[in-house]
Structure 1
Amino acid sequence: MKTLTLSDKENIALKEIRNSIINFGRCPSLRDLMKTLGYRSPRSASLLIDKLISKGILRRNSNGSLQIIRDFEDKANVQTIDIPLLGTVPCGMPILTEENIQAVFSVSTKLAKPPHKYFILRAKGDSMNKKGINDGDLILVKKQSTAENGDAIVALVDNEVTIKEYSASAYAIVLKPCSTNKTHKPIVAGNDFQVQGVVVTVIPNL
């Protein structure tokens, strides 16, 4: 099998795209890439993107946005698996669908342990900051439909995705905020409640 190699410019471009998706939830513009790479024309940046697409690193979606479909970093002697980073999840949609994937990142198997399935989400708000989950953080989530009391979970409630602490009793399932912001209130789960996964760790930067 032929070993895949990237040029210095291709590595810089991929790193810029990866960082932009992680920090801003979107790919950089061609002009941003042009400046980062020191090119004088957006076309040069566009041609470099085409090379990354031809090498199977990137894919261009129907709306023109770029998706990382293979993470490429030098991780010698480190076993990794590819984990999808999900974008904004439309209300009422299953959380793990192809159109919601912004990128695929390599994560150490010490964190994402096979054969379990995982995904990465970007946290919004401060409802779980006492658990170390702050606005804009990335969280690694193990996909499962059950949870234990005290777990930080990703749940689907009333067709909206939320991150809360799971608490179940004989009377009710309660999703508790763990926040310094006292405006956040517990949610009593109804029949439409679903556990999507359990938070494994916070990933400040992949």
Structure 2
Amino acid sequence: MGITPKQKKVYDFIRGYIGAYGFSPSYDEIRKHFGLRSYNSVQKYLRQLETKGMIRTPWSNKKRAIELVEKPGTTLQIPLLGTVAAGSPIEPIQVREEIEIPEGFVDREDHFVLRVKGDSMVDEGINDGDLVVVRKQKVAENGQTVVALVDGEVTIKRFYVKGERVELRPANENLKSIFVGAVQVEIEGVVVALMRRY
């Protein structure tokens, strides 16, 4: 961006002022805050910041007309692979599309998204229709929320090993756990985030 330390201080002051008061500082407030001698000095800094695409100063007689230009965050496209049951296991439903999430949130290569169907995980804040972000892995620790294949059907539950058996526990006090032999369960991944669309 090529911003100088003094330009950054002016920008940070404007941003902080807007965050605190809901409107921009006046030219006079900027001048006094930085001990500048004239309004021309204020205008010089504002023009520099505007040239760099960081603020906008609309042609206006308003004294507080400085606007911040928010840069859109970079996003990644993560595959939505289908529907997972938060209830009784269901057959996998393949509905391939892409979901946009902020870059840095996950690594595209080892994550995918599933849409939740059912209410067995509501006490964990996972509701019917929500999207869960899943990290691909074949093992899990006790207590983790997993996406698992049980006899070829897919479900989302808390995972617990009980000797040679596995407990897939719902987060809903009205529902019962599923107990199966360890060889009947294949972990597809661990839930790492929840996305809700309104």
- Please, what TM-score do these two structures have when normalized by structure 1? 0.52
Q: Which amino acid aligns with 1:194?
A: E
1:201 to 171, 184, 193: 193
Specify the SS of the correspondent of 1:179: coil
- Please, what TM-score do these two structures have when normalized by structure 2? 0.54
The 8 Å contact of residues 157 and 189 in structure 1, kept in 2 or not, is answered as no
Tell me the CA shift for residue 120 of structure 1: 0.9
- Match status 1:192 vs 2:184: yes
Give the greater-gyration-radius structure (CA).
2
Query: In 2, Cα distance between the equivalents of 1:139 and 1:164?
Result: 12
The 8 Å contact of residues 167 and 177 in structure 2, kept in 1 or not, is answered as no
Query: In 2, Cα distance between the equivalents of 1:175 and 1:166?
Result: 5
Tell me the CA shift for residue 131 of structure 1: 1.1
Cα pair distance change 1:137/1:115, threshold 3 Å = closer
Per-residue CA deviation, residues 4-60 of structure 1 (Å, 9 max, x unaligned), is: xxxxxxxxxxxxxxxxxxxxxxxxxxxxxxxxxxxxxxxxxxxxxxxxxxxxxxxxx
Specify the SS of the correspondent of 1:191: helix
- Match status 1:147 vs 2:140: yes
The 8 Å contact of residues 118 and 143 in structure 1, kept in 2 or not, is answered as yes
- Match in the other structure for 2:105: 111
Query: In 2, Cα distance between the equivalents of 1:109 and 1:149?
Result: 29
Cα pair distance change 1:146/1:105, threshold 3 Å = same
The 8 Å contact of residues 121 and 157 in structure 2, kept in 1 or not, is answered as yes
Gaps of 5+ in 2: 1-69, 85-89
Query: In 1, Cα distance between the equivalents of 2:186 and 2:119?
Result: 22
Gaps of 5+ in 1: 1-74
Tell me the CA shift for residue 144 of structure 1: 1.0
Query: In 1, Cα distance between the equivalents of 2:78 and 2:117?
Result: 20
Specify the SS of the correspondent of 2:123: helix
- Match status 1:178 vs 2:171: yes
Query: In 2, Cα distance between the equivalents of 1:116 and 1:84?
Result: 10
Cα pair distance change 1:137/1:88, threshold 3 Å = closer
Per-residue CA deviation, residues 150-177 of structure 1 (Å, 9 max, x unaligned), is: 1100000011100000112434221111
Identity %: 40
Tell me the CA shift for residue 115 of structure 1: 6.4
1:85 to 80, 84, 92: 80
Structure 1 consecutive aligned stretches of length 4 or more whose deviation exceeds 6 Å: none
Tell me the CA shift for residue 116 of structure 1: 4.9
Cα pair distance change 1:173/1:88, threshold 3 Å = closer
Number of residue pairs aligned between Structure 1 and Structure 2:
124
- Match in the other structure for 2:159: 166
